Structure 1
């Protein structure tokens, strides 16, 4: 029997939307995860297609609406992207962004420990939050954000960001051990291991509560919760090999990702995405609003 479309025909992938990604320069590989672009200017989207289902993520994002015909709605709050940018912290739960018009959005994604080192801000304060950049970051970041907004194209935007970040990041790295760039931009395992090792070294002599507070301020989450989030992010954006209609079974996927059994795997996927594993894979393959998952699969493929 043929499956019924998950969200109806008007939620299907639209042929006139475009997403793309760019990787950072090698010197910023342990600071910046990637630059991402979402372009819907030439697409007439239905209300369902105008949604963006955002996967859980340990990353900090800064998003600019280069062109935008309306504000966006996130977590029940309206955020205007017509001017400036918004800052999103790490996400630990299913999140939906609703756009009220065609838009061209450019996004910088940064590892949370790098964001903390660059800004000295407590990442836990941004957990599951979206804030206007003008109120969240200082004037140097605001000037950079304004320059990105006025740049002529994406390559110019990347150059502005990399010039801004490179000397700052080199200064930060001179004061602490460098983390190796993660092997695969979806799994983050090498990054998490490096962060855990550095956290252990930097908190020697501290009480357990002090260590947890320091780590949470740098990463947004306690280390154990961060490892769980990274595992789930890797699972939710795993790609075609976790397709329940194809090759490996859900039992194989659950085992490969470290879950105790298929039931545990299915419960966790539903808790973090709102859908069962088969429903999620189907949504990724057929629904426009799940474009962030498809883009993260592309990141992993890189």
Structure 2
């Protein structure tokens, strides 16, 4: 299996969280078990092109549902999701910050919340260039990513002056701030922040804060430790402003479907959790290929 997560650079990093290319074409088929792909909840939007294979979205009970479109657009996710690979898969995804996605597409992130729909049903006509361009470069993930970077940069720069950087800090700030702190820093009321966040991000500030803080916690848990010692959950909870360790555990479970200890074991040994092993071992919050 080949997989890579590449961060955007320069001005495009303001709009794009990263690019992911995945290929399972080198794996034996059919596999011994059902090849499941598990993804966490996340604030980001995504645009995915499946160039080979097929996936079916799993319902809340874990049963296969509809076949995912090969050209897919997805919105913020409020719960973990999974898909079932039906044929050897190769795909590429652009993961966009929701406020930048709104400026680039004119689509309201709130309307795409917890949805995975055909790209042509939501995206402006010019985005229809993507399927053919990415299919033509299917065997060259570097070329796919370079093409997406150039295409997006040419469209991000003209809309960048309309980007609200203050609201953008809710999903980009390294130190995730509580909604009340963010409102004070921006100089708006709680009600104004609520309205602006729902419009730009598609989720209320409290939900954004919860998702981003849990992402930060998972990144710290998965990050390199100089002596190989596990980071104590109680200390991590205190560092990130959780009420206590059980609060941290609940949020991670809400984000991923598993408590920290079981998640760590799954990431280490369960192929279903391959997405969590991207980015050099740090937990990456990536868009579902379905």
Give, in whole Å, the separation in 1 of the partners of 2:236 and 2:204: 26
Aligned partner of 1:58 in structure 2 is 43
Seen in structure 2, the aligned counterparts of structure 1 residues 268 and 139 have a Cα distance that, compared at 3 Å, is same
What TM-score do the two structures reach when normalised by structure 1? 0.78
Match of 1:47 among 18, 33, 41: 33
Aligned partner of 2:66 in structure 1 is 78
Seen in structure 2, the aligned counterparts of structure 1 residues 136 and 260 have a Cα distance that, compared at 3 Å, is same
Alpha-carbon displacement from aligned partner over 1:132-176 (angstroms, at most 9, x marks no partner): 112121211112333222225222212322232112111111334
1:113 aligns with 2:99: yes
Structure 2 unaligned segments of length 5 or more: list them: 285-290
Larger mean CA deviation between 255-264 and 224-233 belongs to 255-264
Is the Cα contact below 8 Å between 2:223 and 2:282 reproduced in 1?
no
Aligned partner of 1:148 in structure 2 is 134
What TM-score do the two structures reach when normalised by structure 2? 0.81
**Match runs of 1:1-302 below 5 Å:** 17-44=1-28, 45-48=31-34, 50-68=35-53, 70-75=54-59, 77-81=65-69, 84-151=70-137, 153-176=140-163, 188-190=172-174, 200=186, 208=191, 212-240=194-222, 246-295=229-278, 298=281
- Following superposition, the deviation at residue 219 of structure 1 comes to 0.2
SS at match of 1:29: helix
Is the Cα contact below 8 Å between 1:72 and 1:100 reproduced in 2?
yes
Alpha-carbon displacement from aligned partner over 1:26-79 (angstroms, at most 9, x marks no partner): 12011111111121111133334x1111012111111111221x3332445423
Seen in structure 2, the aligned counterparts of structure 1 residues 233 and 297 have a Cα distance that, compared at 3 Å, is farther
Is the Cα contact below 8 Å between 2:57 and 2:84 reproduced in 1?
yes
Seen in structure 2, the aligned counterparts of structure 1 residues 219 and 256 have a Cα distance that, compared at 3 Å, is same
- Following superposition, the deviation at residue 125 of structure 1 comes to 0.9
Give, in whole Å, the separation in 2 of the partners of 1:191 and 1:174: 24
SS at match of 1:57: coil
Seen in structure 2, the aligned counterparts of structure 1 residues 179 and 39 have a Cα distance that, compared at 3 Å, is farther
Is the Cα contact below 8 Å between 2:253 and 2:259 reproduced in 1?
yes
Give, in whole Å, the separation in 2 of the partners of 1:225 and 1:275: 19
Give, in whole Å, the separation in 2 of the partners of 1:300 and 1:189: 17
- Following superposition, the deviation at residue 108 of structure 1 comes to 0.8
Aligned partner of 2:288 in structure 1 is none
